[in-house]
Amino acid sequence: MAGRGDPPEGTPEGLPGGGEDEYRSVVFDEAFVRAARLQEFSAQERMGEYAQPVRPRASREGRTGSRQAILLVLLILLAFGTAIYLGVRNPYLPPADQRAEPLRTTVVPLAPQGAVPGGSPEQLFSHSPVAEYRTGAAGINLPVVGRTSHFAESQVVSALSIAKDYLVASSLDPDVLSGASVRSVRLLLDPDQLAQFDRSVESPADDGRHALAGWLVRFDPRQAVLAEPTTRVQGTLRFEESAMDTLDVTADHTYTYALRPATGGVGPVAAASLFTVHRVVHFRFDREDLRMHRAELVASTVEAGPQACGPGSTGILKPLLAGARAPEAGGPAVTDPYATTRPAAPSLCGALAPSAQPSL
């Protein structure tokens, strides 16, 4: 009998192994069939009017290529977005949540060692250390300016100009000196310091944070008024780059005012006297401050006299006028407010140096 794999009549003659070897070259193995790109339609699909006998078969390589193309597009978009972000973002801008530091204030009253000299403003100015001082804003001069490591020369000029504007507004503006307004000063402050400034104006306190005299110069209009509208000023402005994104300016100036009692126009004009304020103000600017024309005040030290030592010196200045004497002696340190090259007096009260008073 023939084997199970042979035809009933046996293997054909002359063909070793039957006809299998003859057609071996056209027999497709399973791997070849799976790799074929054509696939036969079903009988129902072939009944269509315009049906094709076969259809292309989606290959695995095609699907893989599509996924790779999509991934490549996503990577390109991500790289493009990163480039835009880095190009627009300024690396020197501080973080959005960075806030200005609270202002630190020190106010030192300078008590006279005798009676306060009086006379006419012209006489007092000409016989005092301010005889050669300039008047008003002309006494606040900008130094020689150059660029720093991370700030251009124009940015340094801008910082110095803002500092000068603040000094003029807080020390020379008649409305500020008389207590009529603080708007010109407030407009130049960093918004993060406005709450501290407002509290210092409304409720000044001797706590190192809310001394009104640390922010501006103000006289009690019920006690003293300006006898001469022009103030004598002299001092220096210095700048330095404290960090990659901050520029510091230190202002060290002495202001001398001619004052007389506020009589309300009744009686003869009283004699004038000089009142001197030595201010050292430390400003700090970042690039946003320069762009918005505003300043952050880091520290302010004020020595002012002649006035009596004691409470109340951190709010409105209360000068001793012509002929008045201090009710008590000053502190142990004799202080000359015109010596701008020395450190500020460390005590809470000082004695006004006789050389700082007019010699009549």
CA distance 283 to 306: 27
DSSP state of 219: B
CA distance 157 to 142: 8
Q: Note the pLDDT tens digit of each residue in 280-298.
A: 999 999 999 999 999 999 9
Half-sphere exposure for 70 (CA within 13 Å, toward CB)? 6
Distances in Å between the Cα of 320 and the Cα atoms of 219, 231, 237, 309 are 11, 18, 30, 11
Which among 156, 165, 208, 214 has a CA at the least distance from the CA of 185?
165
**In terms of domains, do 197 and 54 share one?**
no
Whether 166 is covered by a domain: the verdict is yes
Token match 């706590």: residue? 207
- Residues 150, 151, 153, 159, CA torsion sign: negative
The pLDDT mean for the chain works out to 81
Do 280 and 252 form a contact (C-beta atoms < 8 A)? yes
**In terms of domains, do 83 and 111 share one?**
no
**In terms of domains, do 131 and 62 share one?**
no
**In terms of domains, do 77 and 115 share one?**
no
Which among 267, 255, 224, 228 has a CA at the least distance from the CA of 124?
228
Token match 């490591």: residue? 149
**In terms of domains, do 153 and 284 share one?**
yes
Q: Note the pLDDT tens digit of each residue in 86-123.
A: 655 544 444 445 568 899 999 989 999 899 999 999 99
Higher-scoring residue by pLDDT: 41, 337? 337
Q: How confident is the model at residue 339, as a pLDDT?
A: 80
**In terms of domains, do 78 and 135 share one?**
no
Residue 63: pLDDT band (50, 70, 90) is low
Range of the domain at 351: 104-356
Half-sphere exposure for 5 (CA within 13 Å, toward CB)? 4
Residue 24: pLDDT band (50, 70, 90) is low
**In terms of domains, do 312 and 164 share one?**
yes
Count how many domains the chain has: 2
Q: Looking at the predicted structure, is the pLDDT value of residue 302 above 60?
A: yes
**In terms of domains, do 188 and 84 share one?**
no
Higher-scoring residue by pLDDT: 165, 265? 165
Whether 97 is covered by a domain: the verdict is no
* Percentage of residues in the chain having pLDDT higher than 70: 71
Whether 46 is covered by a domain: the verdict is yes
Long-range CB contacts (within 8 A, 24+) of 267-270: 270/118, 270/321, 270/322
Residues in the chain: 360
**In terms of domains, do 84 and 130 share one?**
no
**In terms of domains, do 42 and 125 share one?**
no
Last residue of a domain, one of 55, 90, 125: 90
pTM of the model: 0.71
**In terms of domains, do 295 and 349 share one?**
yes
Whether 4 is covered by a domain: the verdict is no
Higher-scoring residue by pLDDT: 312, 222? 222
Whether 29 is covered by a domain: the verdict is no
Higher-scoring residue by pLDDT: 153, 313? 153
Whether 18 is covered by a domain: the verdict is no
Whether 21 is covered by a domain: the verdict is no
Token match 């027999």: residue? 27
**In terms of domains, do 211 and 243 share one?**
yes
Whether 10 is covered by a domain: the verdict is no
